[in-house]
Amino acid sequence: MPSVSIIYFSAQGHTHQLAEAVAEGAKSVAGTTVEMHRIVGSEIIEGRWKNPAVLAKLSSADAIIFGTPTYMGGYSAQLKAFIDAASEVWMKLGWKDKLAAAFTHSQGLSGDKLNTLASLWVNAMQHGMVWVGLGELVEGTAPEKVNCIGSYGGAMAQTDWGQEKINDGDRKTGVILGKRVAETAARWVKGK
């Protein structure tokens, strides 16, 4: 039975909505167990993220999906604190051969989100993980269309200033990413 873990940070809730869409997609694949963890500030003590129970759960997952808002063209400091803490796993290549994927949300249409996904890819490669991209074409550029931002390395979402709900196209894109990761994990587990 494949297991997918989603770890993410969200300050105002948009990345959280995207995370929920990714989880919905992963859960749609029969037999998949899905765990979600939203990083909160109180887990970061003197700059270091600490939550051994969550780290242990991640270590038993077949796939880890990373999510973050894009801040200053990269991932948020909160996700970075978690990523740095996970270097203790890297020392033993504890996540080697797990699947990895990522999603990000920003206010700008570009907002330099590609750099966020690329940085998360680099982190996954350092861990020896296997990257799963979106695998979906652009349905159109209107906000209700799938992959309207035109991202292939992972799911991207964008909302305007003051907009509470993420766009439907971005939500559907998140679902597609989660489903693809879970389907890939099912094949991955079967082939082990």
Q: At 106, give phi and psi (nearest 5°).
A: -150, 175
Q: Which residues, 112 to 131, sit near ligand FMN by CB under 6 A?
A: 112
Closest approach of ligand FMN to the CB of residue 65, in Å? 15
Cβ-based neighbour number of residue 45 at 10 Å: 10
* 102, 166, 176, 98: CA torsion to nearest 10: 20
State the binding string over 37-76 for ligand FMN (x if CB under 6 A, else -).
Answer: --------------------------------xxxxx---
Closest approach of ligand FMN to the CB of residue 15, in Å? 3
101 bridge partner residues: 65
Closest approach of ligand FMN to the CB of residue 93, in Å? 31
Closest approach of ligand FMN to the CB of residue 39, in Å? 11
Closest by CA to 60, choosing from 115, 17, 15, 1, is 1
C-alpha span between 55 and 183 (Å, rounded):
23
Q: Which C-beta is closer to ligand FMN: that of 32 or that of 70?
A: 70
Q: Which residues, 146 to 175, sit near ligand FMN by CB under 6 A?
A: none
Is residue 67 within 8 Å of 15, Cβ to Cβ? Answer: yes
Which residues contact ligand FMN (rule: CB under 6 A)?
A: 10-16, 69-73, 105-108, 111-112
